[in-house]
């Protein structure tokens, strides 16, 4: 479909010169990867881990640019505005799926971008303050059913995957907790350790240090089964919520309409970079598993995430105001 679109434009004399050149010998110059979060976070770290191998595979400079703000939507919007010449790419995070419903965006994920590859997936983890009375997630559910809305839990923000995944658990299990949003994983971890909220859910990297120190007690993970990054902690699917899964993820995307040769070569270069043992090992140190899926797998996954979490957001009336 992409090939037919580009050829049709060229035949009509409308194709931009940059696109024609990209088809002939991409890349001709530097390539940029937009990371839609500030430096130092997991998305930024992962991008900078595979960037040298990607540069090596392409034979041209690859520059990582941080464009943080609004749960990743600022950087994604910039990538969506870029010319479809194969020179701008996006490393998308799981918030991109929920942003599609919680925000009024100038782009739509599945129309603005061309999936290239999944990069990694990992668990969110529900934790309790070490002095909280619940030793298991089942005890939390039972307590919440006895006294709805009396137990609070923190997340990394309204509409974040941590928020909507807990909304789905409550919807499925018939219990109610009180949501308290924080501005990211660091503030969330500090709040649960300090006892501002007795429970919190976030990515494993943001909570791992406090878990290891014994300040936080893990109660469940959102992967389908136990995560090897947190052995001994059961998934919610294993704790009475069969089929429940809400992995955090990273996906590598190009611009829709980019030349097919550029998309294909970038996919091959990403596969090569993520297959390098040293790159894979260092990425997985972040508490995720490298999952270098191809174009169709990535497309199906993204579409499923947008549709699934969109339903949960609408069913639970989740808005950025509450």
pLDDT tens digits for range 295-310: 999 999 999 999 999 9
Domain span holding position 267: 2-121+247-315
Flag whether 219 is in a domain.
yes
In this predicted structure, what is the pLDDT of residue 1? 39
138 and 232 co-located in one domain: yes
Q: What is the mean pLDDT of residues 158-181?
A: 97
Strands (E), the chain: 31-35, 62-66, 88-93, 113-122, 124-129, 152-155, 178-181, 199-203, 216-221, 248-255, 289-290
Can you tell me the distance from the alpha carbon of 208 to that of 210, in angstroms, rounded to the nearest whole number?
A: 6
* Lowest model confidence (mean pLDDT) among 21-30, 62-71, 131-140: 21-30
Rounded average pLDDT over 167-176: 98
Which domain-ending residue is among 215, 239, 263? 239
Q: Residue 9 pLDDT more than 70?
A: no
Q: Tell which of 239, 264, 292 closes a domain.
A: 239
| pLDDT bucket at 184, cuts 50 / 70 / 90 | confident
**Rounded average pLDDT over 101-110:** 97
pLDDT higher than 70, residue 23: no
Tens digits of residue pLDDT in 226-263 = 999 999 999 999 999 999 999 999 999 999 999 999 99
4 pLDDT higher than 70 = no
Question: Are 116 and 49 contained in the same domain?
Answer: yes
pLDDT at 24: 53
The answer to whether residue 25 scores a pLDDT higher than 90 is: no
- Residue 210 pLDDT more than 60? yes
Find out whether 317 and 100 touch, Cβ atoms under 8 Å: no
Q: Are 153 and 200 a contacting pair, CB within 8 Å?
A: yes
Question: What was the pLDDT predicted at 129?
Answer: 98
Task: Tell me what pLDDT residue 11 has.
Answer: 39
Q: Does one domain contain both 185 and 200?
A: yes
Tokens linked to 75: 């950087």
Q: Indicate yes or no: pTM above 0.95.
A: no
* Residue 132 covered by a domain: yes
Q: How many domains does the chain have?
A: 2
pLDDT score, position 16: 47
- Look at residue 320 and tell me if it is in a domain: no
- Do residues 161 and 303 both lie within one domain? no
Please report whether residue 159 resides in a domain.
yes
Judge whether residue 278 has pLDDT over 80.
yes
pLDDT on residue 3:
40
Mean pLDDT of 50-57: 97
* High-pLDDT (> 90) share of the chain, %: 87
Maximum C-alpha span of the chain: 70
Domain boundary among 239, 257, 272: 239
pLDDT of residue 321: 58
Q: Looking at 18-32, 132-146, 195-209, 272-286, which range is the least confident one?
A: 18-32
Residue 84 has pLDDT above 80, yes or no: yes
Q: Among 272, 203, 154, which residue's Cα sits nearest to residue 37? A: 203
Looking at the structure, do residues 128 and 188 belong to the same domain, yes or no? yes
Q: Is the pLDDT of residue 14 over 80?
A: no
Q: What is the radius of gyration, based on Cα positions, of the chain? A: 21
Domain shared by 256 and 145, yes or no? no
Residue 8 pLDDT > 70, yes or no?
Answer: no
Does any domain span residue 21? Answer: yes
Q: Output the pLDDT for position 175.
A: 98
Residues β-bridged to residue 113 = 255
- pLDDT at position 131 is 97
């Amino acid at each position: 479909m992409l090939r037919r679109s580009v050829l049709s434009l060229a035949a009509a004399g409308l194709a931009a010169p940059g696109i024609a050149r990209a088809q002939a010998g991409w890349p001709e110059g530097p390539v940029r990867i937009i990371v839609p979060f500030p430096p130092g976070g997991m998305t930024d770290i992962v991008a900078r881990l595979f960037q040298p191998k990607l540069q090596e595979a392409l034979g041209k400079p690859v520059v990582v640019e941080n464009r943080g703000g609004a749960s990743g939507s600022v950087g994604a919007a910039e990538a969506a505005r870029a010319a479809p010449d194969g020179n701008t790419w996006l490393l998308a995070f799981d918030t991109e799926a929920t942003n599609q419903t919680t925000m009024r965006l100038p782009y739509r994920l599945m129309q603005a971008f061309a999936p290239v590859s999944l990069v990694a997936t990992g668990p969110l983890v529900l934790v309790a303050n070490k002095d909280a009375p619940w030793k298991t997630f089942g005890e939390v559910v039972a307590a919440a059913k006895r006294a709805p809305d009396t137990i609070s839990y923190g997340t990394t923000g309204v509409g974040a995957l941590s928020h909507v995944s807990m909304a789905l658990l409550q919807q499925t299990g018939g219990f109610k907790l009180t949501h308290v949003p924080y501005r990211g994983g660091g503030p969330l971890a500090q709040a649960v350790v300090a006892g501002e909220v007795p429970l919190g859910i976030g990515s494993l990297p943001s909570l791992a240090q406090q878990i290891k120190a014994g300040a936080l007690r893990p109660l469940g993970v959102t992967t389908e089964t136990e995560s090897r990054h947190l052995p001994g902690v059961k998934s919610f699917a294993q704790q009475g919520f069969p089929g429940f899964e809400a992995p955090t993820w990273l996906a590598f995307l190009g611009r829709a309409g980019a030349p097919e040769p550029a998309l294909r070569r970038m996919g091959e270069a990403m596969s090569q970079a993520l297959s390098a043992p040293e790159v894979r090992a260092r990425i997985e140190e972040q508490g995720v598993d490298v999952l270098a899926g191809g174009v169709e797998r990535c497309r199906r996954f993204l579409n499923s995430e947008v549709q699934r979490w969109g339903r949960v957001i609408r069913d639970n009336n989740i808005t950025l105001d509450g």
